[in-house]
Amino acid sequence: MSNFQTWRRGVLALLLVGTGWVAAGCASTDARERGVAQRLYVLYCGEAQIPDISPWSPGYNVGKPAVFSDNCYLIRHGQDWMLWDSGYPDALAATPEGIVGPRSRAIRTRTLTSQLAEIGVDPTQITHLAFSHTHGDHVGNGNLFTAATLYIQQSEYDAAFGPEPGKYGFVPATYEKLRANPTMKLNGDFDVFGDGSVKILSTPGHTPGHQSLLVRLPKTGAVVLSGDAAHFEDNFVNRRVPEFNFNVEQSRQSMDKIDAVVKAEHAQLWINHDAKQSATIVHAPKFIE
Ligand SMILES: [Zn+2]
C-alpha cells in the first residue's frame, strides 16, 4: 500500500469516526419573497449499512438493521450553481466493499465529480456552497469547491475551524481548504439569493450549527432538505434524538421548527438519510423543477 493509500484509508477511517456512525416559521407574504430556483438535482453521495440503528433512536429499533441513503443536492438559480452537502469522499469509491466503522459500513459506488460532469458542471462552477453540517458524510468532498462562497452558521464555523474540531466529530482533512473561501457566517436563517427561492434555516442540535434548506421550485413547489435534523421519518414523527447529538433539546426544537415551515409552505420534507423515501425521489442526471 502506498503512502497515499495509507493516508487515504486513515482519513476515511477518521471520517467514519466523525460522522456519528462512530464516535421560525418562514412563511411570508413579502412580495420580494416570490423567487424560485429553476432546477434541483439530487445526487447519489453514498450510503451506510447499519447493523443496529438504535443509537439513532435510543430505546427503539434495538438490533434493527437499516441502510441510510446519502444525497447531495445541486440547485440551478439563474446563472448560479449552489451545492448543498457533498457526501462521502469520492476516494471511497476506490474501495468497492466500503469502509467499516464502529457503527456502520460506508459505501460510495459513484463519485460526486462524475455525476457533476454528467450534468456538465465543473466543481469550479459552484458559486454557492453550504452543508447541513460538518460530519464526514456531508463534507467529504468539501475541498473540491474552493471557488464558492461558503454559507455556514457561526457556531458551526467555530467548531469546524476552531482548535478542537475532533470534539464535535469533525475531521478537517476533507474541508480545510474552505478556510480560504469567501464565507458568510450566519446567525440564524438566511435568504441566499435575496428572492426567497433558497433559504437556509438554522436548525441546531445534531451539531452546534446544523442547518436545513428551503427550496422553492416552479413546478414542484417548496421542498425542505432537513439534513440530519432527523435521520429517518419515524424519528422525525416521534421527535427521537440520536444519543450522540450535540444538544438534545435543540434537536427537538429544530424538528418543531422544520415541521412548522413544512406546514406553512405546504412543502415536501426530504430526509437525507431515509433510504425508503430517497428511493422515491428522481436522481441526477434527471432533475426536478
Ligand atoms: Zn449524515
- In tens, the pLDDT along 234-244 reads 999 999 999 99
Higher-confidence residue of 106 and 18: namely 106
> For every residue of the chain, which 3-state class applies, written as one string?
CCHHHHHHHHHHHHHHHHCCCCCCCCCCCCCCCCCCCCEEEEEEEEEEEECCCHHHCCCCCCCCCEEEEEEEEEEEECCEEEEECCCCCHHHHHCCCCEECCCCEEECCCCHHHHHHHHCCCHHHCCEEECCCCCCCCCCCHHHCCCCEEEEEHHHHHHHHCCCHHHHCCCHHHCHHHHHCCEEEECCCEECCCCCCEEEEECCCCCCCCEEEEEEECCCEEEEECCCCCCCHHHHHCCCCCCCCCCHHHHHHHHHHHHHHHHHHCCEEECCCEHHHHCCCCCCCCCEC
Q: What is the pLDDT of residue 33?
A: 56
**Residues of the chain above pLDDT 70, percent:** 88
Cα of 47 from ligand 1 centre, angstroms? 10
The set of residues, in sequence order, having a beta carbon less than 8 Å from that of 143 and lying 6+ positions away, is 174, 175, 176, 177, 178
Using one digit for the tens of pLDDT, what is the confidence trace for 185-207?
999 999 999 999 999 999 999 99
Query: 250: CA distance to ligand 1 center in Å?
Result: 17
Contact assessment for residue 211 and residue 201, using Cβ atoms and an 8 Å cutoff: yes
How far does the centroid of ligand 1 lie from the alpha carbon of residue 235, in Å?
14
Q: pLDDT grade, residue 30 (50/70/90)?
A: very low
Distance 19 CA to ligand 1 centre (A): 6
Query: Is the per-residue pLDDT at 8 higher than 90?
Result: no
Rounded to the nearest angstrom, the distance between the alpha carbon of 137 and the centre of ligand 1 is: 5
CB atoms within 10 A of CB 166: 13
What's the gap in Å between 87 CA and the centre of ligand 1? 8
**245 and 205 Cβ atoms separated by less than 8 Å:** yes
199 CA to centre of ligand 1 in angstroms: 20
In angstroms, what is the span from residue 69 Cα to ligand 1's centroid? 9
**How many angstroms does the Cα of residue 236 sit away from the middle of ligand 1?**
14
Q: Quote the pLDDT of residue 36.
A: 86
CA of 53 to the centre of ligand 1 (A): 13
So what's the pLDDT on residue 13?
46
Ligand 1 centroid – CA 221 distance (Å): 25
Question: Which pTM was predicted?
Answer: 0.89
- Does position 139 have pLDDT exceeding 60, yes or no? yes
Distance from residue 34's CA to the centre of ligand 1 (Å): 31
| Angle CA 214–47–76, to nearest 5 | 35
- pLDDT at residue 14 tops 90: no
Residue 29 CA to ligand 1 center (angstroms) comes to: 33
Higher-confidence residue: 280 or 21?
280
Q: Is the bond into 204 cis (omega within 30 degrees of 0)?
A: no
* Alpha carbon of 274 to ligand 1 centroid (Å): 10
The pocket of ion ligand 1, defined by CB under 5 A, consists of 137, 228
Q: Are 174 and 89 in contact (CB under 8 A)?
A: yes
Pairing of strands 39-50, 66-77: antiparallel
From 238, 239, 242, 245, select the one nearest 54 (Cα to Cα): 242
Ligand 1 centroid to Cα of residue 227, in Å, is 7
Q: Which amino acid is it at 216? A: R
